Each structure stands twice: as C-alpha cells, then as structure tokens.
Amino acid sequence: MEMTQQERLDKLLNAYSHHYDIARDVTVEGGSFPATAFFFLRDENYLISKKHVLNAVENHEYVYFYLTEHLDAATLQKQINVSREAGMSHIKPNREHMSSFVTLVILADTIDPEAKKLIKKTRFRKNFRLALHGWMEYHIAAMEISTNSFLSNPAGKEARKLLERNFLSKEK
C-alpha cells in the first residue's frame, strides 16, 4: 500500500523527533511550511567548576519541510529563498557560535529536470566575522516519490541519507 505524503512526513518527523524540536504548520515571512525541526547543541569545557567556563561551542540546525505534488524550478527557487531567509533569521553569531545549518527537505511526487539541476547546484555558505563567530551552510535534500529517487546538493548528503534510510529500505 502506497504511503500518502502526509504519512511520509509523519514518518520523517518521527525520525527527527529524537534529537530535534518539531513544530507543525509554521508560517514564516514569505511562506509557510507543514513542519520544521530545530536542533541545538552546546558543549562547554570547565575549569574546576561549572562557574568557570573555559570555552563553549554551539551548533544549530534549522530544518524546513516542504510537500508538493509537482516541483518546478520556479517553486523550488522560492522555497530555497524562503527557507534560507527563515533559517538565517534564527542565527545569532557570537564567539561561542560554531556552526549553523539551514536545511530544506522536499517530498514531491514529481520533480522537473530543471528543478533537479537546481537542487544539485544550489550552494550557500556564510562566515561570520571571518569565521571567528562561526559559519552557516545551506543543505537541500529531496525525494521524488514517483521514481523513488533521492537528490541533494553537495552539502545536503546527510539529509539525503536520512531520507534514504527512512524510505528506501522498506519499499524494496
């Protein structure tokens, strides 16, 4: 029995829910997403007690999910811009900020060839104060349901692998 897009999203959110904070039906400036998943990790090194922090590093990831029946290049570009700006609005560079990832995960029934090219060539990376206040990188991963194929930009390999682990093994 074929899964609906909503069932696929629920399964994917379940995989993310172990380490991420999940929100549903999120509206951001310029658009909306059926779900988001945010991750935060802070690591500190102490001297004698927790009052004396030697150094600390923070890592963030902001994942935006998008569902559609057909994905064309114009719609994809809009979703890339909206998710990137929404993710960038959460990043607060400081001396403890190490890295932030903004990720767009797409579940589409069909994807245009032009949109596939755009997914593969999309790259965005930004350093804050010459990387002294950290850096951010944009990831994108997509699943074309009709062909059961998975795509990503070079930085989004891990997001693509998570899609493959959740949907490829069960359907073969």
What DSSP state is assigned to residue 129?
T
- Note whether 33 and 65 are within 8 A (CB): yes
> What is the rounded distance in angstroms from the CA atom of residue 172 to the CA atom of residue 48?
54
**What confidence score (pLDDT) does residue 1 get?**
56
**What are the distances in angstroms from CA 11 to CA 7, 61, 83, 133, 138?**
6, 19, 21, 35, 23
**What confidence score (pLDDT) does residue 172 get?**
43
Q: What pLDDT, in 10s, does the model give residues 71-92?
A: 999 999 999 999 999 999 999 9
> What is the rounded distance in angstroms from the CA atom of residue 15 to the CA atom of residue 20?
9
CA angle 14, 18, 22 (to 5 degrees): 65
Q: What pLDDT, in 10s, does the model give residues 8-28?
A: 999 999 999 999 999 999 999
**What confidence score (pLDDT) does residue 51 get?**
82
**What confidence score (pLDDT) does residue 171 get?**
45
**What confidence score (pLDDT) does residue 169 get?**
59
Regions of the chain short of the pLDDT cut 50 = 170-172
**Partners of 137 in the β-ladder:** 101, 125
- Note whether 22 and 61 are within 8 A (CB): no
